[in-house]
Every structure is written in C-alpha cells, then in structure tokens.
Amino acid sequence: MKKIYSPDKADWKSILERPTKTVADIEAIVLEVFEDVKEKGDNAISKYTKRFDKAVLDNNLVSQDEIDNAKNQVANDLKGAIQIAKSNIERFHQAQKTSKVEVETTFGVECWQEKRPIQKVGLYIPGGTAPLFSTILMLAAPANIAGCKEIVLCTPPDENGNINPAILYTADLCGVTRIFKVGGIQAIAGMTFGTETIPQVYKIFGPGNQYVTVAKQLATKFGVAIDMPAGPSELLVVADESANAGFVASDLLSQAEHGVDSQVILVSTSKELIDEVEKEVEAQLNELPRKDIAAKAIDTSKLIFVEDDETALELIDEYGPEHFIVCTLDQEFYVQNIGNAGSVFIGNYTPESAGDYASGTNHTLPTNGYAKQYSGVNLDSFMKSMTFQKISKDGIQNIGNAIELMAEAEGLQAHKNAVTLRLKSLKE
C-alpha cells in the first residue's frame, strides 16, 4: 500500500482516483452486446454465455429440480446462518414502511401520497470468483416486503452450466419467481429488452464488475430504471491511536479480496498506526486463500496520514466511500458530520463484514463516488410514490381563481378553461 503523508489539498483528486476504467473505454463493447440481444434475443444470450462463461446451455431457466437438488447440497449450518441474516434484513427493511401521507392543503382540497410496489424487478447476482448469495438476501427480501409481483434473477453459470447451490437455495428462500443462468452484460441486456425466455423488467438491481455497471447505466437509455451505479467494491477506514491495527487490517483485506479492481484506503491521524496496519496487512494477506486477488487490490490502495480530524473528514467527504468505518476516540465527530458515504460502521467491533451479511442493513451501495448523490438500496428502492388529490365544490372555488391567473400568465388557455367551466357551472 502506498503511504501518503499530509497531502496538499490540490492533490486530493489524483490521490483519491479509483482504479477503474472510464465508461468510454468499455461502452462500445456493452453497446454491441445490447444491440445483439435486442435483435436476436436468446440466440445472442447463448452466444455470449459461451464466449464469456464458457458454458453451453440448452435452457437458461433454472428448473425446479435444480432448485430442489441445491437445497440438499447446502449444509444445515449455512442454511441456519442464511436464515438468521434473512430475519435481520427483513426486520430492518420492514421498519422502513411508511404510512399514507394525507393533508387538506386548503378547505375542500385533499392531497395524499401512497406507495406502490414496482411490479417487475430484475436482480443481478455476480458469480465469478465469489458466488454472492448474500446479495440475494439484500435484494429479494425487500422486494418481497415491498410487494413486487415478479422478481427475476440472473446470475452467471460455471463452465458446466451450474449455479452455486447457495445461490439457488437463497433465491428460493427469498421468493424469487424465476432464475436464469445468464451473467454479465448479456444478463442486463436480457432484462432490459426481454427475450423469448427472460422477461423485460422495470428496474434492475445488483452490483457487478465495470462492464455490468456500464451496462446498467446504458439500460436507462432504453426506459429501464436502475438502483444505482454500483461497481467494484471499496472501503475507507478512518482510525487513530485508539484503533486495533489488526482489526483495521482485516477490514481492509475483507474488501480487497472482492476483486483486483477493489480499492481500500486508511485515513489516520497517527503515523504509528499506519505503520502497524501496514505490517498487519502483510501478515494477514499471506494467510488468505484469495491472496493473489487481494494483493493486486492492495497495490492500488493507500495509507494516508492527515494532521487532524477536520482534515480527515473533508478528505473522506471528497472521496465519498461505499463503506466507511470509524475507529476513533471521537466517533461522534465523524458520525454527526459525514455527508458522503454509502454505509457507516462505528467502533472497533463493527466490521464491514457485518453489513455485508447479517446485521440487517443493505450492502448494495453506491461506489465510485456516487455516494455523493445516491442512497444505498432500501425498501423505497422497490416502490414508487404516487400522489392523489380530490377537490370538492368548495375546494375548486377556493383555489380556482389562482389556477386561472397562473395558467393565463403562462399562456395556457385550455388549462384556464378547465377551471373556468367548473366555476361557471357552480354559479348557475
């Protein structure tokens, strides 16, 4: 990890740059796949599944027999852990339900807001080097609480055309309606346009690599909404002399092992802690099964020393981390003042792994600085707010003249007439 001491503010932008390709670098590839899937449907899906996943499939749809077999392959203790996580996630997201908002803005004018579920949603679950069945919990559980009628899941198969049993078990447990063996760009394209087998959805959720991220952004050009631009994982830890260097190192490595394009950063007001963490990272890294992946991510990550908490906070807000861990004496300073972060983890005994799996918060979060304007996935992500109004005779008389004057000032005579006719009818 690169050590940086008291960086000049003018250099922050370059120091905090993510190790990711730009949209322009890969958009041409994504667009080519999209156009192919739009025109040729399942035939194009099969072609790209063979090219990218090295799998030849007779059918993309996962059968009930495959799901039943998967249930028998998942160890009982893992099933129990998944069920505990599901319970906590459901409890937290259930609490996010809100009641109808109803107001009489003027006598005779009733306005209210109610929420309705998005009827068809698509979930993308990465397979790749790690089968992220935990992401199914984070997406399918709130989708069910919201009341989504159709929950479609796409995830890449292995070379033999199989899906990890834990993914199938969790998807079935969480009420996913259909599961498809499709990954990458082609999965996003399939859910965007619909194919002979994959239904078109209204909104796509889920993380992925840089190609999936760009594919999701491209999907919005074709009338499909997305949760957020969620790309390679990232973590920033702020820590001082009160932190446990071993804990901090373990958190940095927990994100580094996600992928070679992940990024982890330590910001500290203690040079001694930075040195200790560096040693711990080296020691712990050697014990990891995914050492090679984590090592490449660590190569592009940084240990940054700053003079005080105020400078640290300003730098962190500039970065806008996906995950933000606070291990300092003055935790409240960061908790109360942080403006840009996807999810915050407070104290020495709150590892980021807890949020990834079982604390109850959602781990589908904005990356690449999008925490400055996007929220992480929550119950409202699967719902739409609809407004209603009902106006009585008294109500239209109370606000009618104001509407007429405003419509006339904008030169919209038909708008004015719609009110004028009603007001005249009440005088007859």
Indicate the residue type of 106. Answer: T
Is 323 marked as a binding-site residue? yes
Is 209 marked as a binding-site residue? yes
- For residues 100 and 114, the answer to whether their CB atoms sit within 8 Å is yes
Tell me how far apart the alpha carbons of residues 383 and 398 are, in angstroms, rounded to a whole number. Answer: 33
- For residues 316 and 265, the answer to whether their CB atoms sit within 8 Å is no
Is 282 marked as a binding-site residue? no
Structure tokens at 393: 């005779």
Match 């129990």 to its residue by tokens.
80
Would you say residue 23 has pLDDT above 90? no
Active site residues: 322-323
Number of neighbouring beta carbons within 10 Å of residue 175: 13
Contacts of 344 (CB under 8 A, 6+ apart): 324, 325, 326, 334, 335, 338
Q: C-alpha angle with apex 295: 235 to 320, nearest 5 degrees? A: 15
Is CATH 3.40.50.2000 what the domain over 392-427 is classified as, yes or no?
Answer: no
Alpha carbons within 13 A on the beta-carbon side of 129: 13
Please state the domain extents for the chain.
2-16+232-360, 23-99+116-227, 392-427
Would you say residue 20 has pLDDT above 70? no
Q: Domain 23-99+116-227: which topology?
A: Rossmann fold (3.40.50)
Alpha carbons within 13 A on the beta-carbon side of 148: 29
Give which of 264, 276, 220 is closest to 238, Cα–Cα.
Answer: 264
Pairing of strands 101-106, 203-205: unpaired
pLDDT, tens digit, 9 for 90 and up, residues 231-275: 788 999 999 999 999 999 999 999 999 888 899 999 999 999 999
Is 110 marked as a binding-site residue? no
Mean pLDDT, all residues of the chain = 95
Three-state DSSP at 322 gives coil
Is 415 marked as a binding-site residue? yes
Question: Predicted confidence band at 209 (pLDDT cuts at 50, 70, 90)?
Answer: confident
- For residues 32 and 187, the answer to whether their CB atoms sit within 8 Å is no
H-type helices in 257-409, by residue range? Answer: 271-285, 291-299, 309-319, 331-337, 352-357, 393-409
* Mean pLDDT value of segment 378-395: 98
pLDDT at 223: 96
Is 404 marked as a binding-site residue? no
pLDDT at 428: 80
Would you say residue 326 has pLDDT above 80? yes
Q: Do domains 2-16+232-360 and 23-99+116-227 have the same CATH topology?
A: yes
pLDDT, tens digit, 9 for 90 and up, residues 165-181: 999 999 999 999 999 99
Q: Provide the CA 59 distance to its chain's centre, in angstroms.
A: 29
Q: In sequence order, what are the beta bridge partners of 225?
A: 203
pLDDT at 21: 60
Would you say residue 129 has pLDDT above 70? no
Tell me how far apart the alpha carbons of residues 267 and 274 are, in angstroms, rounded to a whole number. Answer: 9
Give which of 321, 322, 316, 244 is closest to 284, Cα–Cα.
Answer: 244
Contacts of 400 (CB under 8 A, 6+ apart): 419, 420, 422, 423
Structure tokens at 124: 């993308």
Is 25 marked as a binding-site residue? no
Name the strands in the sheet holding 383-391, side by side, starting at the edge strand that comes first in the sequence.
Answer: 101-106, 109-117, 383-391
Is 363 marked as a binding-site residue? no
Alpha carbons within 13 A on the beta-carbon side of 295: 11
Contacts of 210 (CB under 8 A, 6+ apart): 20, 21, 26, 231, 232, 261
Would you say residue 372 has pLDDT above 90? yes
pLDDT at 128: 65
pLDDT at 230: 75
> Measured between alpha carbons, how far apart are the two ends of the chain, in Å?
82
* Mean pLDDT value of segment 319-344: 98
Q: Identify the DSSP state of 117.
A: E
Q: Domain 2-16+232-360: which topology?
A: Rossmann fold (3.40.50)
Q: Provide the CA 47 distance to its chain's centre, in angstroms.
A: 28
pLDDT at 229: 79
* Mean pLDDT value of segment 290-294: 94
- For residues 258 and 251, the answer to whether their CB atoms sit within 8 Å is no
- For residues 224 and 202, the answer to whether their CB atoms sit within 8 Å is yes
User: By CB neighbour count within 10 A (0-12 exposed, 13-18 middle, 19+ buried), where does 199 fall?
Assistant: middle
- For residues 335 and 348, the answer to whether their CB atoms sit within 8 Å is no
* Mean pLDDT value of segment 28-45: 97
Tell me how far apart the alpha carbons of residues 180 and 61 are, in angstroms, rounded to a whole number. Answer: 5
Question: Predicted confidence band at 220 (pLDDT cuts at 50, 70, 90)?
Answer: very high
